Structure 1
Amino acid sequence: MPVPDPVPGLPPAYPSNGRAGRVVQALGARIVRGEMAPGAAVPTEEQLVAEYGVGRSSLREGIKVLAGKGLLESRTSAGTRVRSRESWNLLDPDVLRWRYHPEASDTDVAALADLRVALEPGAARLAAESAGPAARREVERAMADLWATVDDPDPRAFIEADLAFHRAVFVAGANDLLLYIHDVISVPMSAVRPLHTHSAGHNKETLPAHERVAVAIRRRHHRKAEEAMREIVEVAREDALRERPEDALRQCGPEGDQ
């Protein structure tokens, strides 16, 4: 059975090149993608050994790793079973990778878009308040790379530059906890970014707001940085939901469109 491909450029948190890793990557993906329901018993050791072509010790190591990620629990009386989603380590890089790659559900795309709206404006505000000269230069350099790649016919160049710009803003905020969260969620961000990176023309429309973020950070205008970043992530959320029209209803409150 083939091991699921990782997101390009982002190695899995648990190495996949060993026999235990083969179990972790394949079985973990099946659980997170809903192929095994919460409470379901996993196949017997004999079945899994045959399915993955590993020994019992490697299988047991893989099961132990997945238990550590909150996906499985083993009990003497009930055997090994899938745990409910509430028990999963949702910020584990592997769990995020299985959740968002190769394709994310509508609900998962919306959850990530909402998280960006909650986090990134505040990060831009902190960057404007806290960035030192070197960090401000990195934001400016990342902004220049955005302009340099916006007309590239290969959208991957712009996507990489965009991800680098947003990370530079988090670095400039000088908050190690916030940067850690950003780096963790960069796994799903890389996977879903093509949803709102449609064309050179569309990408170019987003750059004035990015430029306002960079300028506000340079000038230490924290409110302007926050407002400009909020515009960026709100537009990104609208783009992501537009690609999934059935999910757009969640943006409507009791009084209609917000």
Structure 2
Amino acid sequence: MSRTYAKRSLHSIVAHDLGARIVSGQLAPGDVLPTEAALSESLDVSRTALREAIKILSAKGLIESRPKTGTRVKPRSSWNLLDPDVLSWHFPDPDPAFLYALFETRLIIEPNTVAMAAVRATPDEIKAIGDAYDAMEKAEPGTEAVYLTDLQFHQAILNASGNDFMKSFGMLIETALIGSFRLSSGGPKAHVQSLPDHHAVYAAISHRDPDEARATMHKLLRRTMRQLRQQLGMSVDHDWDKIGL
């Protein structure tokens, strides 16, 4: 699912390296990057490749370059967190607060999106969701297919929503979804246990029942979050019940 280094240009590799350092906190907000000459030498790349990488990171909101003061890491509030690269740099060791924010976003978006799909999906789109579910059932536990078919299922629902923004949302968070599926899989047993919830979502869409579709997707996401907390030993409390998520 991810782009490999072999397929990346040199400046993309440099951007990935620096971006991962920033997201992980190795380079903190307010830190000034070394001079172009020093950074080019330490990374063993040309200044041209480094400048292109700096442009990429600037466009993603991670850094800014100013005359005389150099290139500085911007506050996290300025980062484009929906950028696929910025999302991917949070994995495989994401901060618990980041994971909670991700699942909050999913809890806001996906239950309502599946309700849209229950009303708006075409027969072909419903079939695509069903095919994705069938692929989930056939996926061998512990393999990459588990994550990829799960992603396919959720994206098929977003595509069936009849809302172009939802379709874009699915593409933007592809890397984060894959990462969260891996972290929250809980092993082969968890994959098998999740199948009834996924089938319930598919059935609700097939029956054109938006309320049931919304409720079953909400149940699925909450169960996934509980598994994630147990697997990672997370003790972070949340206030979703108070908020109504």
TM-score of the superposed pair, with normalisation by structure 2:
0.90
Which residue among 45, 67, 70 is the counterpart of 2:61? 70
* CA distances 1:90-133 after superposition (whole Å, capped 9, x unpaired): 11111111122x32121222221222111111111010010011
TM-superposed deviation, 1:204:
2.5
Taking structure 1 as reference, are residues 208 and 21 closer, same or farther at Cα in structure 2, changes over 3 Å only? closer
* CA distances 1:30-85 after superposition (whole Å, capped 9, x unpaired): 11111111111100112111111222222222212211111111111311111100
Which residue among 161, 164, 189 is the counterpart of 2:152? 164
Which residue in the other structure is 1:3 paired with?
none
TM-superposed deviation, 1:89:
1.2
Which residue in the other structure is 1:176 paired with?
164
In the alignment, structure 2 segments of 5+ residues that lack a partner are none
The question of whether the paired residues in 1 share the 8 Å contact of 2:158 and 2:170 is answered with yes
TM-superposed deviation, 1:162:
1.4
TM-superposed deviation, 1:19:
3.0
TM-superposed deviation, 1:137:
0.8
Which residue in the other structure is 1:10 paired with?
2
Which residue in the other structure is 1:143 paired with?
133
Which residue in the other structure is 1:223 paired with?
211
The question of whether the paired residues in 2 share the 8 Å contact of 1:213 and 1:229 is answered with yes
Which residue in the other structure is 1:200 paired with?
188
Task: State the identity %.
Answer: 32
Taking structure 1 as reference, are residues 76 and 105 closer, same or farther at Cα in structure 2, changes over 3 Å only? same
TM-superposed deviation, 1:15:
9.4
Measure the CA separation in 2 of the matches of 1:125 and 1:253.
Answer: 21
Correspondence 1:108 to 2:98: yes
The question of whether the paired residues in 2 share the 8 Å contact of 1:121 and 1:225 is answered with yes
TM-superposed deviation, 1:181:
0.7
The question of whether the paired residues in 1 share the 8 Å contact of 2:142 and 2:187 is answered with no
SS in 1 for 2:134: helix
Residue type at the aligned position of 1:181: F
TM-superposed deviation, 1:21:
2.0
Question: What are the equivalent positions in structure 2 for 1:118-137 lying under 5 Å apart?
Answer: 118-137=108-127
Taking structure 1 as reference, are residues 193 and 62 closer, same or farther at Cα in structure 2, changes over 3 Å only? same
Residue type at the aligned position of 1:76: P
The question of whether the paired residues in 1 share the 8 Å contact of 2:185 and 2:228 is answered with no
TM-superposed deviation, 1:88:
0.9
Which residue in the other structure is 2:32 paired with?
41
Taking structure 1 as reference, are residues 199 and 68 closer, same or farther at Cα in structure 2, changes over 3 Å only? closer
Taking structure 1 as reference, are residues 245 and 17 closer, same or farther at Cα in structure 2, changes over 3 Å only? closer
Question: What are the equivalent positions in structure 2 for 1:50-69 lying under 5 Å apart?
Answer: 50-69=41-60
TM-score of the superposed pair, with normalisation by structure 1:
0.86
Which residue in the other structure is 2:230 paired with?
242
Which residue among 190, 197, 200 is the counterpart of 1:212? 200
TM-superposed deviation, 1:158:
2.2
Which residue in the other structure is 1:79 paired with?
70
TM-superposed deviation, 1:142:
1.4
Measure the CA separation in 2 of the matches of 1:145 and 1:192.
Answer: 19
Which residue in the other structure is 2:177 paired with?
189
TM-superposed deviation, 1:252:
8.4
The question of whether the paired residues in 2 share the 8 Å contact of 1:213 and 1:228 is answered with yes
The question of whether the paired residues in 1 share the 8 Å contact of 2:135 and 2:149 is answered with yes
TM-superposed deviation, 1:16:
6.7
* Count of aligned pairs between the two proteins: 243
TM-superposed deviation, 1:134:
0.4
SS in 1 for 2:89: helix
Which residue in the other structure is 1:4 paired with?
none
Q: How much is the aligned-residue C-alpha RMSD, in angstroms?
A: 2.3
Measure the CA separation in 2 of the matches of 1:31 and 1:163.
Answer: 27
